[in-house]
Amino acid sequence: MTFPQLLSILRARYKVILLTLLIAVVATAAVSFTLPRIYRTSTTLLLNYKGTDPVSGRVLPAQLVSGYVATQVDIVGSRGVALKAVDMLGLADSPVTQQRFRQVANGKGSIREWLADSLQKMVDVTPSRESSMIEITAKGSDPAFTAQAANAIAAAYQQMNLQIKVEPLRQAATYFTQQTTTLRAALEQAEEKMSRYQQEHGLVSADGHLDVETARLNELSSQLVLAQGQGAEASSRGSQAMGSGGRDSPDVISNVLVQNLKASLAAAEGKFALLSQNLDRNHPQYQAAKAEVDQLRSELNNSISATNAGAANNARIQRQREGAIRAALTAQTAKVLQLNRARDELAVLAKDVESAQHAYDAAAQRLSQTELEGQSNQSDVSVLSPATVPTRPASPNIPLNMVLSLLFGSMLGLALAVLAELTNRRVRTGSDLLNVLDAPVLGTIVWRKPARRIAFPQLFLSR
């Protein structure tokens, strides 16, 4: 079928096309004005996700954050949020709603569940593709209630989101409270154990006390070395004093009294030798000189004996002093070793106390943080644009429906015209006659509309 043939068919059957178009437009207009008005409005929410663990406080991996928006979309459309919205709107207490529930459900079931199902059917939740935004769209026949429903769903979701965030924090606070009590008891037990150990061993400041005792040990070691040297020297002098009469001992040689007596004795002996050559034994001068020599020799021997005895006594005293210093050194060494052991044990107890203190401080800090966050009433969801009461219905869209009815009626009219032509084929052009008779066309008669007189047909011959 060529385009001129199609045009001839449309001109011939324009009534069918116009009738079909008229029927389509009238039907569409009737249906559009008959259908109930559906209003649509939406609330836009912004999600601020922290992604922290309520117990450890660590930031969760990014793999868990990616599914957060999808999870929140499911929460918004959940029955729990719808039930909260029903309670916030007070729909279950409305007499009109109760009467409608009795008519629809015959009083069976829960009116809150029925209203929650109705709200879920009214609301459509759509997440943004590349952002953390959620759009809550509500549609219904009442524009004011539609806006209230969308805003109520958003407010209920904020409460649910806050409850989901706060509830784990409160549970974590309860857990940390128990742990803090246990750790405080462990800290007190460790401190009591260390204090009792200090009292048992007499340790006030273990490090300072140990420094004093170590200094005393070093002093005793120095005194022992000095006493050993002095004892060895005293023993040597004592041995020399006891051997060969002790007249050549260092103490005797260094004694001034002994040296003076030796000098006096030598002078007296010289005088006595001179007198013994000139005088008889019974001469008074002889007797006096002899008596002087004997007295000086006796004094010299007594001084030498006393000096040697003093050296022997000094050696004995030095040995006793060395023994006393050695015993004190041994006792001080044992004391220092005991203090070392006590210090090591006290250091272990101090580390236990320090570890218990750190654990208690960390738990107390986390307890304070979780308690503060658990008492928060700020949700991570922000309402960017609340739903407003729509002024125009979203459906039916009468202008769009009319345009679509014109397009559909025109296409349907064309289709019916072509179908009618195919069922009752007519010869309308020369090409149609050529197709039917399979013979050449000599000419066509064009009928013109007469103006004032009767029009006679004119014959046009075609070549």
Judge whether 457 lies within some domain.
no
230 & 370 share domain: yes
User: What is the pLDDT averaged over residues 408-434?
Assistant: 75
Asked whether 20 and 405 are in contact (CB, 8 A), the reply is: no
9 & 157 share domain: yes
For residue 105, the enclosing domain spans 3-170+378-437
114 & 48 share domain: yes
Judge whether 123 lies within some domain.
yes
User: What is the pLDDT averaged over residues 410-437?
Assistant: 73
Q: φ, ψ for residue 310 (rounded to 5)?
A: -65, -40
- pLDDT averaged over the chain? 77
356 & 210 share domain: yes
The token pair that represents 406 in the structure block:
């014109």
**Count of domains in the chain?**
2
User: Using CA atoms, how far apart are residues 52 and 77, in angstroms rounded to an integer?
Assistant: 24
Q: Is pLDDT larger for residue 10 or for residue 349? A: 349
Judge whether 84 lies within some domain.
yes
357 & 338 share domain: yes
Judge whether 442 lies within some domain.
no
Tell whether the model's pLDDT for residue 35 goes beyond 80: no
Of 374, 401, 420, the last residue of a domain is 374
Tens digit of each residue's pLDDT (9 = 90 or more) over 227-279: 777 766 666 665 655 555 555 566 666 667 767 777 887 787 777 777 777 77
Judge whether 221 lies within some domain.
yes
User: Using CA atoms, how far apart are residues 249 and 233, in angstroms rounded to an integer?
Assistant: 12
The token pair that represents 415 in the structure block:
């289709």
User: What is the pLDDT averaged over residues 306-313?
Assistant: 69
> Quick check: helix, strand or coil at residue 370?
helix
19 & 158 share domain: yes
pLDDT value for 448: 63
Tens digit of each residue's pLDDT (9 = 90 or more) over 191-224: 888 888 777 776 655 455 556 777 777 887 887 7
164 & 16 share domain: yes
Judge whether 281 lies within some domain.
yes
User: Using CA atoms, how far apart are residues 69 and 51, in angstroms rounded to an integer?
Assistant: 12
294 & 411 share domain: no
Name the region of 61 (left: φ>0; alpha: ψ -120 to 50; beta: rest): beta
426 & 414 share domain: yes
The token pair that represents 443 in the structure block:
């000419």
> Quick check: helix, strand or coil at residue 148?
helix
Judge whether 444 lies within some domain.
no
142 & 104 share domain: yes
Asked whether 428 and 421 are in contact (CB, 8 A), the reply is: no
220 & 360 share domain: yes
Judge whether 456 lies within some domain.
no
358 & 231 share domain: yes
Tens digit of each residue's pLDDT (9 = 90 or more) over 427-453: 666 666 666 666 666 666 666 666 555
pLDDT value for 43: 92
